[in-house]
Structure formats: C-alpha cells, structure tokens
Amino acid sequence: MFVACNKESCENPIPQISIKKIDLTSSSGLVTINVMDCDGDIGVQEQDTAGLYRYNAFVDIRPFFNGEWSQNVWNYVDTGYYEIINDSGFVIGYDTIIDTLNYYYRIPYIENNSRSEIYEAEVDLKLGTGYFGFDTFRFEIKIRDRALNESNTIISETQIGRL
C-alpha cells in the first residue's frame, strides 16, 4: 500500500474575512474576525514599519446621523498639551500636539509549518473602548496581505453605543 500526502491549496490570492463576534462595553471593545488566505501571505514582520506595510488590518467606524450613514468614517482626535520648560526648569510656554487615532492594526507574520499553504486564523482586534461618542454606528473591516491584496470589506450589523 502506498500513501501520499498532498498539500492543500486553493486559487484565490485575495484574503477573505468574516466577523466572528463583536464584544462592546462602555470601557472596552473587541472585534474578532475569521481570516482565510489561499497563498498564506498574511502578516507583517517587525521590520515592516513604513508605507503600505505599516498596518495590515483596518477597522473603520461609520456613524449613523440624520437617518443615513455618514459619508466619512469617524476618527478620534487626541489633543495633548505639553509644557515647554527652559534650561532653568521654568515653564516658558505650551505646545499642542494633535493626533488622529484610527483603529489600524498589525497582524503579525506567523511561519506556516503545516502541510497547507492556506492561512486560516481568528484575529482579535482590540478597540480600547466601546463608546465612540454617538449612539448608532457600524464597523467596516478589511485586511491586507504582504502582496498588498486587500480583502473583502465586511460591514457589521448596526451597533448601539454604550454609555
């Protein structure tokens, strides 16, 4: 008797994602997605920090205003005020730093040691909060592989803000 093992494979190089679950409270948020990529090139390495390789998972938040979905996704703007201190230790002024925070993530590169080239995983995307300042919104989620192929964009069910 002769037994041979063939590597599993599929043809589509575009990653496919789906929502597994969304857990929101007033103080935390977690979106878990299922990821499947036929050629297994998901993930960024530590040295991948510039340009299109900086992030590879994206959660956009789209609010619902006046009976329709906003044309723009929501960005959290964090404003920090910092003291400018001279060499003597005295405050001589203030500086303002404005930073726009998006929910962009780095899915890490994982070496594939299986018989299959297919990459399948559950990925947790931590939001840090479950309250975004409005009562009705949805998530729009996509990922990008190392060949820069963008996945399908998944749109969550309508979410109700938590206070």
Q: Name the nearest CA neighbour of 118 among 9, 7, 30.
A: 9
Cβ–Cβ < 8 Å for 138, 69: yes
The per-residue pLDDT for range 44-72, each reduced to its tens digit, is 888 888 888 889 999 998 999 889 998 88
Q: pTM of the prediction? A: 0.76
- pLDDT tier at 97 (50, 70, 90 boundaries)? low
The per-residue pLDDT for range 74-87, each reduced to its tens digit, is 766 556 666 778 88
The per-residue pLDDT for range 24-46, each reduced to its tens digit, is 987 888 999 999 998 888 888 88
**What are the residues facing 29 on neighbouring strands?**
24
Domains observed in the chain: 16-74+103-160 (2.60.40)
Over the range 56-87, which residues count as b (16 or more CB within 10 Å of their CB) and which as e? bbbbbbbbbeeeebeeebbeeeeeeeeeeeee
Q: What is the structure's pLDDT at 77?
A: 58
